[in-house]
Amino acid sequence: VTENRSDLEDLHLYATPREQRFRRFASLEFEGQLYMTPYDFIQAVTNDEPKRAKKWRSLSKQELNQILMETPPVWKGSSKLFRNLNEKGVISYTEYLFLLCILTKPHAGFRIAFNMFDTDGNEMVDKKEFLVLQEIFRKKNEKRERKGDEEKRAMLRLQLYGYHTSANSVLKTEGEELVPRSYWDTLRRSTSQALFSDLAERADDISSSLSDTTLLVHFFGKKGKAELNFEDFYRFMDNLQTEVLEIEFLSYSNGMNTISEEDFAHVLLRYTNVENTSSYLENMRCRIPEEKGITFDEFRSFFQFLNNLEDFTIAMQMYNFASRSIGQDEFKRAVYVATGVKLSPHLVNTVFKIFDVDRDDQLSYKEFIGIMKDRLNRGFR
pLDDT digits (tens, 9 = 90+) for 352-361: 988 887 788 8
- Domain contains 171: no
- Domain contains 247: no
* Domain final position from 195, 211, 240: 240
Same domain, yes or no, for 27 and 98? yes
Residue 91, SS3 per DSSP? strand
Containing structural domain, residue 350: 254-376
What are all long-range contacts of 145-150, with beta carbons under 8 Å and residues at least 24 apart? 145/14, 145/16, 146/13, 146/14, 146/15, 146/16, 148/13, 148/14, 149/14
* 130 closest CA partner among 33, 220, 22, 223: 220
- Domain contains 245: no
Same domain, yes or no, for 324 and 283? yes
- Domain contains 79: yes
Same domain, yes or no, for 182 and 266? no
CB 42 within 8 A of CB 244: yes
β-pairing, 228-229 vs 124-125, is antiparallel
| Average pLDDT score over the chain | 80
Percent of the chain's residues with pLDDT above 70 = 77
Same domain, yes or no, for 308 and 360? yes
Same domain, yes or no, for 341 and 230? no
For the chain, how many structural domains are there in total? 2
Residue 38, SS3 per DSSP? helix
Same domain, yes or no, for 226 and 268? no
Question: What pLDDT band is residue 320 in, cutting at 50, 70 and 90?
Answer: low
Amino acid at 224: G
Report pLDDT for 148: 59
* 134 closest CA partner among 213, 32, 53, 59: 213
- Domain contains 158: yes
**pLDDT tens digits, 165-216:** 444 443 333 334 444 456 556 555 555 554 434 555 555 555 556 789 999 9
Query: Is pLDDT above 70 for 109?
Result: yes
Q: What is the DSSP string of 162-201?
A: SS---GGGS---TT-------HHHHHHHHGGGGGGSSHHH
- Which of 40-44, 189-193, 273-277, 335-339 is most confident? 40-44
Same domain, yes or no, for 236 and 261? no
- Domain contains 173: no
- Domain contains 246: no
Stronger pLDDT, 267 or 145, i.e. the higher one = 267
Same domain, yes or no, for 226 and 291? no
- Per-residue pLDDT, averaged over 136-161, amounts to 72
Question: What pLDDT band is residue 85 in, cutting at 50, 70 and 90?
Answer: very high
Same domain, yes or no, for 188 and 272? no
Same domain, yes or no, for 214 and 109? yes
- Domain contains 365: yes
**pLDDT tens digits, 213-237:** 999 999 999 999 999 999 999 999 9
* Domain final position from 216, 240, 264: 240
Same domain, yes or no, for 227 and 273? no
Same domain, yes or no, for 233 and 342? no
Report pLDDT for 370: 77
